[in-house]
């Protein structure tokens, strides 16, 4: 059984003015998603600025999210690292605390070989007793998981069950599904490709868009699964201008601005990320208005 089906939010981490984590605001966001159709919460991913957290902060945010969600919807913890040892320790702790799944990004900067990726994921899975979602996003990590490596891992390791595919390469996605005989739970890592990947057998999306449009992102998936392909596609295409603006600068710069424009007061960003430029803020606000969420 899939960890979740539908739209999982790659949730932002709200900060106070001094840069510390705003746990009260995080609780409000979690409640909002549980009440507005989001199918899973992915905490401490790229969108959550996990790369700027200390290991102590990282695991505290994961634990807090699991505690507050109280099994209303699955919680998937981002516990990847470019150090296999660190990924193992974070993953073990998150699994022991009750995470429903672990999102493990490819080791960034090191640029491991395919054999290195195989050994990395196998080592983490051996120690962390929870379902694992591999995360392929070479545009950020410089490291792509090839379809043959995905197939090998899914075949050889019982608790490696899924992949978040954010390569943007539809042909690679098709190869993954063909080489695994569909025996992998695939999630789109790109909001502009939800419907195309669902058509290839994906279980849903791990979404930035869900931060500001949880119901609509859920509905794109739900309509597809119920056979309303026309409605699903129509909503996907309607969302494209907003999706493009949510990536006008590096994620999560625009989505945090979008949430603040909606009155969420999630705070700023940790450096080296900086605030969205005025020009992009204007076009983002316009796209939000046109989509009907502002």
Task: Show which residues are catalytic.
Answer: 135, 164
Q: Are 99 and 62 in contact (CB under 8 A)?
A: yes
CA distance 206 to 41: 9
CA distance 89 to 74: 21
Q: Helices 229-246 & 278-291, crossing angle to 10 degrees?
A: 160
Interacting residues of 226 by C-beta distance below 8 A, sequence separation 6+: none
Q: Are 30 and 69 in contact (CB under 8 A)?
A: yes
Buried b (16+ CB within 10 A) or exposed e, 47-66: bbbbbbbeeeebbebbbbbb
Buried b (16+ CB within 10 A) or exposed e, 161-197: bbbbbbbebeebbbbbbebbeeebbbbbbbbbbbbbb
Question: Rounded to the nearest 5 degrees, what angle is found at the Cα of 138, between the Cα atoms of 132 and 142?
Answer: 115
Altogether, the residues listed in the chain come to a count of 294
């Amino acid at each position: 059984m899939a960890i979740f089906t539908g739209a999982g939010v790659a949730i932002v981490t709200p900060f106070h003015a001094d840069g510390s984590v705003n746990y009260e605001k995080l609780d409000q966001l979690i409640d909002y998603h549980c009440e507005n159709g989001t199918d899973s919460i992915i905490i401490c991913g790229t969108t959550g600025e996990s790369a700027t957290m200390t290991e102590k902060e990282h695991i505290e945010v994961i634990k807090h999210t699991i505690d507050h969600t109280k099994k209303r919807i699955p919680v998937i913890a981002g516990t990847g690292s470019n150090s296999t040892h660190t990924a193992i320790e974070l993953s073990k702790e998150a699994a022991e605390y009750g995470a429903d799944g672990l999102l493990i990004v490819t080791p960034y900067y090191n640029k491991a070989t395919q054999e290195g990726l195989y050994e990395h994921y196998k080592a983490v899975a051996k120690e962390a007793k929870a379902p694992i979602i591999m995360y392929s996003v070479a545009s950020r990590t410089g490291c792509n998981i090839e379809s043959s490596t995905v197939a090998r891992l899914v075949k050889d390791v019982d608790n490696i069950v899924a992949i978040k595919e954010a390569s943007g390469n539809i042909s690679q996605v098709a190869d993954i599904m063909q080489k695994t005989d569909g025996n992998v739970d695939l999630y789109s890592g790109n909001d502009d490709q939800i419907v195309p990947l669902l058509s290839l057998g994906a279980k849903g999306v791990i979404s930035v868009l869900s931060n500001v449009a949880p119901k609509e992102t859920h509905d794109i998936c739900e309509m597809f699964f119920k056979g309303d392909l026309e409605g699903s596609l129509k909503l996907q295409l309607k969302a494209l201008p907003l999706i493009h603006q949510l990536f006008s600068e590096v994620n999560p710069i625009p989505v945090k601005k979008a949430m603040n424009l909606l009155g969420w007061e999630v705070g700023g960003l940790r450096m080296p990320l900086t605030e969205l430029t005025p020009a992009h803020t204007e076009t983002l606000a316009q796209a939000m208005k046109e989509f009907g969420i502002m």
